[in-house]
Amino acid sequence: MFKLIKLMLCIATYCVIFPTQAYSTDEYRLGAGDTIKITVFGQQDLSIETMLDDSGKIDYPFLGQIQASGQTLEEFQQQIYSGLKGDYLVSPNVSVSILEYRPFFIDGEIKTPGGYPFQPGLTVNKAVALAGGYTERASRSKIFLIRSNDPEQKSVNVDGNTLLQPGDVITVKQSYF
């Protein structure tokens, strides 16, 4: 119970100390684990909230399974618009938004390793704060990042000010004094 209260206090402190910065969704590519909201104005039965499954697909009324992973919000919105236009609606007004980004992951020499909800404007330092801070043995210079969108899954040394993306994996190595 004490750990839960401590975690909640860390998160509350994080929100006050590190306000959310603007995060551009123009370049953001959807991926498995993202929760999205599709709204077709005036068509309640076509407006849904759903999470992208492991394959990056969703089940959508009238269109069946459609691939969302790898697309920007605008591209995916256009795909739904094109699918609905003509057979179902004359000129559908479609909007796609992200309700919850897929989580990022942090492990190594931090107090509470695991997956955490991504927040726009998140840096490595802020992620460490969410995870309870560094352990006594943590190296501040040996922090490695694997980008979720990197096909090679290459681990790169980063600093605390590096901006994160949803799905990223951070590893904090041990310092040798």
| Domain locations in the chain as residue ranges | 2-22+103-174, 35-100
Coil, strand, or helix at residue 126? helix
Q: What fold does the segment set 2-22+103-174 form as a domain? A: Outer membrane lipoprotein wza fold like (3.10.560)
Per-residue model confidence (pLDDT) at position 24: 54
Distance (Å, whole) CA 10 – CA 114: 15
Share of the chain residues as helix, strand and coil, in percent rounded to the nearest 5: 20, 30, 45
Q: Is the separation of the CB atoms in 48 and 85 below 8 Å?
A: no
Pairwise CA distance, residues 73 & 112, whole Å:
33
Pull the structure tokens for residue 120: 């726009």
Q: For position 89, what pLDDT does the model report?
A: 86
What pTM was estimated for this model as a whole?
Answer: 0.73
**Which CATH superfamily includes the segment(s) 35-100?**
wza like domain (3.30.1950.10)
Residues 71/38, Cβ–Cβ less than 8 Å: no
Structure confidence at residue 177 (pLDDT): 65
Q: Could you state, in chain order, the average pLDDT of each consecutive group of 10 residues for the chain (177 residues)?
A: 43 38 64 94 94 93 93 96 87 94 96 94 96 95 93 95 95 88
